[in-house]
Amino acid sequence: MTLKEQLSAGDKIFSRIDEFVKKNDYKSAYEIIQTENPPDCWIIELDSLLRKGEKFKTIKLELMEAIIKRIFDGGYIRSIEQPIIVQDKIGNISVTIVVKYEIRYLESTKPYPLVLSGVATETVSSMKLLPLATPKASSMALKNALKQVGRLLGKHLNSEAEELELPCEPIEKKMSPEEELLVITEGILSAKNVQDLKSWRSLVYSKKNEEQQNLYETRLRSLQTENN
């Protein structure tokens, strides 16, 4: 199904929400968002990395953002906090990212801004794979923020949180500044498009390393030229 067709599957639910909003009954509108199950066509099943042979249910990020836009007339990413990169005792590298997302929240007498926080950790076996983990962690953190809106956004799809792919080994060693710079440099050089590269921006500029910032800007111009 296309994104438009999936959204259409929720028209009856959206119409009920719209009716309450027109009456300024935001409490009832939000009650629907909190308690209504998502249509079956919104839900996909993916293999669980944590539990081999099992599946977990989720809603695609693209669809979640479209649902937020439809109900709340939009939302936006308020911030992506600096990634925390650490290494465990067997050499696995983990990146943890916190994303904050703001929407126009429906409550009692009038809408007001609500900032949702989502956190996600992705783990890879080597530094070379970290550039793949960073964008994925950002996307998962955003999904974890959006699902807090309510059951309609998938808040209760996995009661046991099967989708949280946590490291099997305890994280013990924080990477040295030199190791972090190396990882970031590899991430800049291996970015395949502008979106991948921009996932490193906050980390690049937080380090205040002029050489690395110049590398980032050079790579950004190069990717922008390639896309044009």
Per-residue confidence band for 119, with pLDDT thresholds at 50, 70 and 90: very high
Average pLDDT over residues 131-156: 88
DSSP three-state, residue 84: strand
Per-residue confidence band for 126, with pLDDT thresholds at 50, 70 and 90: confident
Tell whether 212 and 184 lie within a shared domain.
Answer: yes
CA distance 2 to 151: 22
Tell whether 58 and 47 lie within a shared domain.
Answer: yes
User: What amino acid occupies position 29?
Assistant: A
Tell whether 128 and 217 lie within a shared domain.
Answer: no
Residue where a domain terminates, one of 136, 156, 175: 175
pLDDT at 91 over 90: no
Size of the chain, expressed as the number of residues it contains: 228
Biggest CA-to-CA distance, the chain: 58
Tell whether 71 and 20 lie within a shared domain.
Answer: yes
pLDDT at 202 over 60: yes
C-alpha distances (whole Å) from 156 to each of 144, 151, 214 are 12, 6, 44
Tell whether 48 and 125 lie within a shared domain.
Answer: yes
Average pLDDT, the chain: 81
What pLDDT sits at residue 10? 95
Residue where a domain terminates, one of 151, 175, 199: 175
User: What amino acid occupies position 71?
Assistant: I
Tell whether 168 and 180 lie within a shared domain.
Answer: no
Contact 130, 183 (CB under 8 A): yes
Domain region containing 26: 3-175
Per-residue confidence band for 169, with pLDDT thresholds at 50, 70 and 90: very low
pLDDT at 224 over 90: no
Per-residue confidence band for 201, with pLDDT thresholds at 50, 70 and 90: confident
Tell whether 99 and 21 lie within a shared domain.
Answer: yes
CB-based contacts of 79: which residues, under 8 Å, 6+ apart?
99, 100
CA distance 88 to 125: 10
Per-residue confidence band for 14, with pLDDT thresholds at 50, 70 and 90: very high
CA distance 197 to 216: 8
Q: Based on the structure, what is the number of domains in the chain?
A: 2
Q: How many CA atoms lie within 13 A of 116 on its CB side?
A: 20
Three-state secondary structure readout of 158-202: CCCCCCCCCCCCCEEEECCHHHHHHHHHHHHHHCCCHHHHHCCHH
pLDDT > 90 in the chain, percent: 28
List pLDDT tens digits, range 19-67: 998 888 888 998 999 999 999 999 998 876 666 777 888 899 999 999 9
Tell whether 57 and 135 lie within a shared domain.
Answer: yes
Question: Phi/psi zone of residue 108: left (φ > 0), alpha (ψ -120 to 50 degrees), beta?
Answer: left
Tell whether 121 and 182 lie within a shared domain.
Answer: no
Handedness of CA 79, 193, 7, 158 (dihedral sign): negative
